[in-house]
Structure 1
């Protein structure tokens, strides 16, 4: 049995549940109001358990507090860990038919179509699902959908770099003032960062990467880590392009977007597990995430009818120098992903350092 479990996990298949393509493909379309779902969730026990991709334990504390303040009596148990670890743990729960998680929100976009085909996800369309860009959801089954657009911008500390007025390109990082000033996430440790380097090098070639290495960047684990280091006065590194801080990343931090290659953006994707122990709590959480009330607060909305908060552009689809649908295709091409990962590992070595503990940087 242990050998069968190992095989199932390595193949990404959960043998203990229905694997028929299109299983239960007709979704339940929600017609209740948030208040009606809220009361149903309270009656169920007032709990929702969420696993959210990320690299700092407290990254989703604002989401937790906002949800619990909005719905008194509800408890949002949210665990943040790297998506590449969480998806394997989900497979193990599915294999053992012992699901303890209600909602999953992950960066590993290639997992969601597989889980849908295997019958692991609840086919359920929250209110607002019809407003989500078609490219960010499974329109047929409604089993998964993006809830917020994540992206890597160019970020730098204006106090540490008082003479830098703007950084308009990735090529700028090869200029003398950035020698010993860059902090970057290992591309061989995070697929979104890997894709960022891939897109840059498609335009600027490996010569750009050779020049970047001559700048002696500091390589770290985790995508929150670079922005933390850039923001802190006690570190010399002052610029990065592998962190997500939204459009208002903090005091003394300025952001820009490149004009010489695309930057990475993607819909961080959510789903409810079909055997979720708290289905009404999960439905409340997902209806809240796609509500206009919540979508108006995110940096870039997944809904076509909502202008994103703080964005200089009308919507993600009209934002220059990015394609938010490209990352999903990249993630599905595991041959290319692995080939690129080993290319960077050969140049940089294995990722070193602890993640996601920011205290250890």
Structure 2
């Protein structure tokens, strides 16, 4: 009888404390530890608009009174180089990174720059999105879509071949593929399916090329916009903006990936942030793709989505010679990316 009680208590303890090797404190307990540490966490997040992570900052600081989330948004390809400088100079002042440059994470792990840490919900993240030692893991699913202004186009747009419709000539706004690896990957997928003649026809449509994956969607949402549609880029938001997923060639999705620096000055703050962004309350706030395998029934499952492979971006990014070859192929045809940084262009 006694042994049965002991076994039952042991099982209860395992359930309460979480999976072996994972964080076993509650969010509130980590919160108290982070406050004692100073109540600050510094995050570098990939993106192309300064305010893109204001929602995360507000949600985090509201949920954890006394905490300050200092978040800096910049293009991941610039964040990673600056972080390399910090690591090389033994002057790491960033606690957490969430970047699109997935190829950097295995290298940083090999260099010993990342903290092996498994948040409490780590076992619920799809295994394809995690490093087995917890050095890095996906926290959200990002992807590109077809976007159009419904006030400017009386119909629906979806397929990449729709970009060649005669009525869209001079009315497309697109992100330079040679300025963003995820957009470059999108074009690579389309070209493999539709061939270079698709790209030649697209160029003949005379699209406006801009920097920043969010810029086309932002421009399409403006009331006085002259643009009608964008393809293979971030979706926009607004009353007259709609999005859809192409079916005539694969579209891009990937797990935006997070890590804590081994020498983070505020490790408890970083742990609090990472446990929060993987928690039920953050992951399941509204139905959307999620990195977790235990999503509610009304959530879409990224592994069941047609015409996208969410795991292919990492191996593609790791092949840097191929990425550089493709980048220069597009640059030779479009020229170098023109315009201000998307963080400075007020678009």
> What is the TM-score when the length of structure 1 is the normalising length?
0.88
Which of 146, 149, 158 lines up with 2:141 in the alignment?
149
For residues 256 and 40 of structure 1, what CA distance do their matches in structure 2 show?
44
Give the Cα–Cα distance (whole angstroms) in 1 for the partners of residues 131 and 254 of structure 2: 15
Alpha carbons 1:28, 1:123 under 8 Å: kept: no
Cα distance in structure 2, aligned partners of 1:217 and 1:93: 39
Q: Which residue of 2 aligns with 1:300?
A: 289
- Determine if contact 2:163/2:231 at 8 Å carries over to the other structure: no
CA distance in 2 between partners of 1:192 and 1:34 (Å): 33
CA contact (8 A) 2:232 2:251 kept: no
SS of alignment partner, residue 29 of structure 1: coil
3-state SS in 2 of match to 1:270: strand
Cα distance, 1:217–1:154 mapped onto 2, change above 3 Å: same
Taking a change above 3 Å as real, the CA distance of residues 295 and 83 of structure 1, as seen in their structure-2 partners, is same
SS of the residue 1:331 aligns to: helix
Equivalent residues in 2 for 1:252-271, closer than 5 Å: 252-271=240-259
The corresponding residue for 2:151 is: 159
**Contact 1:301 / 1:308 at 8 angstroms: preserved in 2?**
no
Distance 1:264 1:52, change over 3 A: same
Which of 142, 165, 170 is matched with 1:175 structurally? 165
Q: Secondary structure at the match of 1:124?
A: coil
Q: Which residue of 2 aligns with 1:8?
A: none
Matched, 1:240 2:226: no
Aligned length: 327
> In the alignment, what sits opposite 1:68?
61
Alignment-derived partner of residue 115 in structure 1 = 108
| Structure 2 spans left out of the alignment, 5+ residues | 1-19
Aligned-residue offset at 1:243: 3.0
Instruction: Find the counterpart in structure 2 of residue 201 from structure 1.
Output: 191
Distance 1:142 1:250, change over 3 A: same
Unaligned runs of 5+ in 1: 1-26
1:272 maps to which of 260, 263, 267: 260
User: Shift of residue 244 of structure 1?
Assistant: 2.4
Answer whether contact 2:245 2:251 (CA < 8 A) is retained: yes
RMSD of aligned residue pairs (Cα, Å): 1.5
Residues in 1 aligned to 2:173 and 2:92: alpha-carbon distance in whole angstroms: 39
The answer as to whether partners of 2:216 and 2:234 remain within 8 angstroms in 1 is no
3-state DSSP of counterpart to 1:31: coil
Equivalent-residue separation in structure 2 for 1:245 and 1:214 (angstroms): 24
Distance 1:173 1:87 in 2: 33
**Take 1:55 and 1:294, find their aligned partners in 2: how far apart are those partners?**
22
Secondary structure of the residue aligned to 1:322 is coil
Match of 2:219 in 1: 229
| Structure 2 match to 1:347 | 333
1:44 pairs with 31, 34, 37, which one? 37
Distance in 1 separating the partners of 2:284 and 2:171: 35
TM-score (normalised: structure 2):
0.91
Distance in structure 2 (CA, Å) of the matches to 1:230 and 1:198? 24
Contact 1:308 1:315 in 2 (8 A): no
Counterpart Cα distance in 2 of 1:170 and 1:308: 31
Deviations 1:143-170, CA, capped at 9 Å, x for gaps: 1000000000111010011x22x21311
Cα distance in 2 between the residues matched to 1:51 and 1:259: 34
Instruction: Pick closer, same or farther for the CA change 1:347–1:308 going to 2, 3 Å.
Output: farther
**1:30 alignment counterpart:** 23
Greater CA deviation, 100-109 or 350-359? 350-359
SS of corresponding position for 1:276: coil
Verify the 8 A CA contact 1:53 1:83 in the aligned structure 2: yes
Residues 1:189 and 2:175 aligned together? no
